[in-house]
Chains A and B, each alone.
Chain A
Amino acid sequence: MTATQTTSAPVATTRRLTTAKAMSEGIATEMATNPEVFYLGEDVGAYGGIFGSTGGLLEQFGPKRVIDTPISETAFIGLAIGAATEGMRPIAELMFADFMGVCFDQIYNHMAKIHFESGGAVKVPMVLTTAVGGGYSDAAQHSQCLWGLFAHVPGLKVVVPSTPYDAKGLMISAIRDDNPVVYMFHKGVMGLPWMAKNARATEVVPEGAYEVPIGKARIARPGTDCTVVTISLSVHHSLDVADRLAEAGVADAEVIDLRSLVPLDRDAIWDSVSRTGRLVVVDEDYLSFGMSGEIVATITDRDPSVLRAPVQRVAVPDVPIPYAHGLEHAILPNASRIEAAIRAVMEA
């Protein structure tokens, strides 16, 4: 048992957790009250998940409910789908979203479609957790976000928390949801000691169960001059830039953390952009055919005349993610690229 799972309750208003610990506490909260919930994946037991998603769960719930699997994603994700159709609530972890290539038939043809093809008679109430994102020289096959691919497939909900509070609340909502939910956690928001320090990756997290609604965006920073729509680690970069540019008198930017991609909170995007008239989208996924274009279409489908400047999209250009740190830094949506985009919409 780790200190995170101790039952002697510290004061709820001051207790702080990293995103990783908040995520595993969300899982533990549901496992403790619902015997149908179990977790399986590679290195999720004794190791606690290579990015800390399941720390302490094996000690608390034992190897029958926290299951280390062989390296066969098709087999164990298929196992989870089968268990879900029989009424259990499995959580399967795909170690890196990049690995979806070996098991995507299970995900997009079965997990996503069984409830549709059965006319709603068979539900698949499972969660697929997966680590995403780069910035630490893990190269082209271990650094992708790929949420655009998962969000593209009808039948899957997709949530992407950026804070400890949302990581726990969205996990509990995902487990309780009767639909299959893909839960994507960026390694850079987890508060891991060996990743780049992120001050917002540790915050006060309430004890006990609470839900963060799936499909509801959050205004991470209110502002009046322009709107930055973003998700995951880019929320933190955008907040840093927005605070700095507000102090410098350049712009008072509103930052919207989408939190979910499916369902997409189009009303929140519309409400903000129709007020500010200026839109920047920051997306750590690839530029073309993805989230950033969908955000822009949310505005242009309703009324493009609200835009007072051309939209700026800060995303990964359509190239594999480089290993060399300098090259990787250049293609990620870093602070300097976000700042340039905000200045561009303000000067247009």
Chain B
Amino acid sequence: MDVVFPTMSQENPLAEGVVATWFVRDGEQVAAGQLIAEVQVDKVSKEIPAPTAGTVHLHAPEEAVVVQGTVIASVD
């Protein structure tokens, strides 16, 4: 299941944000709902929970600048 960078700026769908913190490492087991990341657009940050239990794969490094909606991780 994909983990996408959430739409935090409604007025600018192509707004870029930062993957501020990964709380898990690539290949780690996660529980459903576990906090896995914090992302940020401008100075607003948002917590990202794991959508399901499983093995997490990170698709963007910490500090990466990505457009909203980008897949930043997956859990299988």
Looking at B18, B21, B24, B43, the one whose CB has the most chain A CB atoms below 10 A away is B21
Cα A3 to Cα B3 with chains together (Å): 15
Which B residues are in CB contact (< 8 Å) with A18? 21, 38
Chain A: number of interface residues, binned into ranges: 20 to 34
Taking the closest CB of chain B, its distance from the CB of A333, in whole angstroms, is 25
Interface string of A1-31 (1 = CB under 8 A from B): 0111010111100111110010000000000
Whether A10 contacts B30 in the complex (CB less than 8 A), given A18-B38, A193-B38, comes out as: yes
A3 touches B45 (CB 8 A): no
Residue in B closest to A52 when the chains form the complex, CB atoms: B45
B40 touches A3 (CB 8 A): no
A3 touches B24 (CB 8 A): no
Q: Which of B18, B23, B43, B48 contacts A16 (CB 8 A)?
A: B23
Which A residues are in CB contact (< 8 Å) with B47? 2-4
Taking the closest CB of chain B, its distance from the CB of A191, in whole angstroms, is 6
Which A residues are in CB contact (< 8 Å) with B21? 18, 191, 193, 202
Cα A9 to Cα B31 with chains together (Å): 8
A14 touches B40 (CB 8 A): no
Does B20 sit within 8 A of A, measured CB to CB?
yes
B30 touches A3 (CB 8 A): no
Interface string of A153-173 (1 = CB under 8 A from B): 000000000000000000000
Q: Which of B29, B33, B45 contacts A193 (CB 8 A)?
A: B45
Whether A6 contacts B18 in the complex (CB less than 8 A), given A194-B40, A202-B23, comes out as: no
B63 touches A10 (CB 8 A): no
Taking the closest CB of chain B, its distance from the CB of A163, in whole angstroms, is 15
Which B residues are in CB contact (< 8 Å) with A192? 45
Interface string of A29-42 (1 = CB under 8 A from B): 00000000000000
Cα A197 to Cα B38 with chains together (Å): 13
Taking the closest CB of chain A, its distance from the CB of B34, in whole angstroms, is 4
The B contact surface, by secondary structure, is strand
Cα A3 to Cα B34 with chains together (Å): 6
Taking the closest CB of chain B, its distance from the CB of A292, in whole angstroms, is 33
Chain B: number of interface residues, binned into ranges: 20 to 34
Residue in B closest to A6 when the chains form the complex, CB atoms: B33
Q: Which of B28, B29, B35 contacts A3 (CB 8 A)?
A: B35
A14 touches B33 (CB 8 A): no
Taking the closest CB of chain B, its distance from the CB of A138, in whole angstroms, is 14
Which B residues are in CB contact (< 8 Å) with A14? 24, 28-29
B23 touches A17 (CB 8 A): yes
A11 touches B38 (CB 8 A): no
Taking the closest CB of chain A, its distance from the CB of B63, in whole angstroms, is 7
Looking at A3, A4, A8, A14, the one whose CB has the most chain B CB atoms below 10 A away is A3
Whether A8 contacts B38 in the complex (CB less than 8 A), given A3-B47, A191-B21, A193-B45, comes out as: no
Residue in B closest to A56 when the chains form the complex, CB atoms: B47
Cα A21 to Cα B34 with chains together (Å): 13
Which A residues are in CB contact (< 8 Å) with B34? 3, 6, 8, 10, 15
B43 touches A194 (CB 8 A): yes
With A6-B35, A9-B31, A193-B45 given, name 6 new contacts (CB 8 A).
A3-B33, A8-B34, A14-B28, A16-B23, A16-B24, A18-B38
A sample of 19 cross-chain residue pairs with beta-carbon separation below 8 angstroms, ordered by A number, consists of: A3-B48, A3-B49, A4-B47, A6-B33, A6-B35, A8-B31, A8-B32, A10-B31, A10-B34, A11-B31, A15-B23, A15-B35, A16-B23, A17-B23, A193-B20, A193-B21, A193-B39, A193-B40, A202-B23
Name A residues whose Cβ lies closer than 8 Å to a Cβ of B: 2-4, 6, 8-11, 14-18, 21, 191-194, 197, 202
| Interface pairs A-B: 3 shortest CB-CB | A193-B20, A3-B35, A3-B49
